[in-house]
């Protein structure tokens, strides 16, 4: 039995999800004529209390479009040093938007208003313009760490007071909400824009939705086109996303329970030096030689993701079943 814990992106569409895709009503979305894409966009916007939405192929694209739509060259964005935008989007902020980036050293990726305030630049000819703050919830490289609603609200108030755009990279926002026992309504009014990925823990084969104000989404639509992200009968993907939102949100807590159980075992092992606190579906742990341990586990049919020379990541997801958890526990202990 192959146990793939490299990412929550490795899930495959279930039979029921494929049926929903098969049945989807389709049109040409570049012409704005795909009813299923429209349905998804309206659904996600309404859930999070935003005016409008844009369906995109990936979360990288929704983040990159958001940065481009909110900034101009000579602007600067503030992120945490372990965030996805900084580490895993190919330096897209510079490539697409011509902006610079300044980084906090947060608590497993979570930044505070005080940390951000220190990075806001004064208005001089020789400095870029501080324009935008982007947070990530949950924080992938932070071991799936979670900002509480109060923390997100405090940063929202701070950004408003300072005139800064406030963006959420919500690749795993539904994991955060599950951990907090909250619904998307709790985020109403907090952000200028949010990226919501449906291809992570929710199990769709592709797709992220960018949400925000109407004029922002209008500009974003044009940016999606120039980045090559205008899709035609993309309702076939949107149908999978709608299915995922209707069926795969409530079960996320199972993934969190399984991740905690894996972490409990790892903590007992002599070859594991440290396990980051587990709040959601991500387990990051430290070993002497990540590549070596990764290769050893792969021989036992457990696939994990090396995250640095000494860090490994396991991510639980809807295709990681109870029998797989039992088998993984056995193999790790032995």
| Contacting residue, 34, 76, 80, 169, with ligand PLP by CB under 6 A | 169
Minimum Å gap between C-beta 302 and ligand PLP is 21
**In this structure, how many other beta carbons lie within 10 angstroms of the beta carbon of residue 168?**
28
Q: Which two tokens stand for residue 102?
A: 């300044």
Q: Which residue is nearest to ligand PLP (CB)?
A: 59
| Contacting residue, 3, 45, 59, 155, with ligand PLP by CB under 6 A | 59
Q: How far apart are CA 256 and CA 314, in angstroms?
A: 12
Q: How far apart are CA 272 and CA 293, in angstroms?
A: 10
Cβ closest to ligand PLP, residue 208 vs residue 234:
208
Minimum Å gap between C-beta 68 and ligand PLP is 15
Q: Does 58 bind ligand PLP (CB under 6 A)?
A: yes
Asked if 273 and 286 count as a contact pair (C-beta separation under 8 A), the reply is yes
Q: How far apart are CA 275 and CA 326, in angstroms?
A: 20
- Report how far Cα 292 is from the mean position of its chain's Cα atoms: 28
- Binding positions for ligand PLP, 266-295, rule CB under 6 A: none
Which of 205, 195, 72 lies closest to 135 in space, CA to CA? 195
Minimum Å gap between C-beta 76 and ligand PLP is 20
- Binding positions for ligand PLP, 138-167, rule CB under 6 A: 140
Tell me how many residues contact ligand PLP (CB under 6 A).
13
Asked if 46 and 212 count as a contact pair (C-beta separation under 8 A), the reply is no
Minimum Å gap between C-beta 172 and ligand PLP is 6
Minimum Å gap between C-beta 70 and ligand PLP is 16
Q: Does 112 bind ligand PLP (CB under 6 A)?
A: no
Minimum Å gap between C-beta 196 and ligand PLP is 10
Instruction: List beta partners, residue 64.
Output: none
| Contacting residue, 11, 36, 208, 220, with ligand PLP by CB under 6 A | 208
| Side-chain half-sphere exposure of 176, counting CA atoms within 13 A | 29
**What is the four-CA torsion angle of 232, 92, 282, 195, rounded to 10 degrees?**
-50
| Contacting residue, 20, 47, 171, 177, with ligand PLP by CB under 6 A | 171
Q: Does 197 bind ligand PLP (CB under 6 A)?
A: yes
> Which phi and psi angles does 309 have, rounded to 5°?
-60, -20
Binding site for ligand PLP (CB under 6 A): 58-60, 63, 84, 136, 140, 169, 171, 197, 199-200, 208
């Amino acid at each position: 039995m192959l146990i793939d814990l490299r990412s929550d992106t490795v899930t495959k569409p279930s039979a029921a999800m494929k049926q929903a895709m098969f049945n989807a009503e389709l049109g040409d979305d570049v012409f704005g004529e795909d009813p299923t894409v429209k349905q998804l966009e309206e659904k996600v916007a309404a859930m999070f209390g935003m005016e409008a939405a844009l369906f995109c192929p990936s979360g990288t694209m929704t983040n990159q479009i958001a940065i481009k739509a909110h900034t101009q060259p000579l602007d600067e964005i503030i992120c945490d040093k372990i965030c996805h935008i900084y580490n895993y989007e190919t330096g897209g902020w510079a490539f697409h938007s011509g902006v610079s980036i300044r980084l906090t050293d947060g608590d497993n990726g979570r930044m505070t208003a005080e940390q951000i305030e220190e990075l806001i630049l004064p208005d001089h000819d020789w400095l870029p313009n501080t324009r935008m703050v982007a947070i990530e919830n949950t924080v992938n490289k932070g071991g799936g760490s979670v900002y509480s609603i109060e923390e997100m609200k405090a940063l929202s108030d701070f950004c408003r007071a300072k005139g800064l755009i406030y963006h959420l990279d919500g690749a795993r926002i539904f994991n955060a909400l599950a951990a907090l026992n909250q619904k998307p309504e709790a985020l109403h009014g907090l952000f200028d824009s949010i990226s919501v990925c449906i291809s992570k823990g929710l199990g769709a084969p592709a797709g992220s939705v960018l949400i925000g104000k109407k004029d922002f989404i209008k500009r974003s639509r044009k940016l999606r086109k120039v980045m090559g992200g205008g899709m035609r009968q993309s309702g076939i993907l949107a149908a999978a996303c709608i299915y995922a939102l209707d069926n795969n949100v409530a079960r996320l807590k199972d993934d969190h329970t399984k991740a905690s159980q894996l972490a409990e075992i790892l903590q007992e092992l002599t070859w594991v030096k440290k396990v980051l606190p587990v709040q959601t579906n991500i387990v990051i742990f430290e070993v002497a030689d990540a590549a070596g341990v990764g290769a050893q586990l792969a021989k036992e049919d457990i696939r994990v993701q090396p995250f640095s020379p000494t860090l490994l990541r396991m991510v639980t997801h809807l295709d990681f079943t109870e029998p797989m958890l039992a088998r993984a526990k056995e193999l790790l202990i032995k």
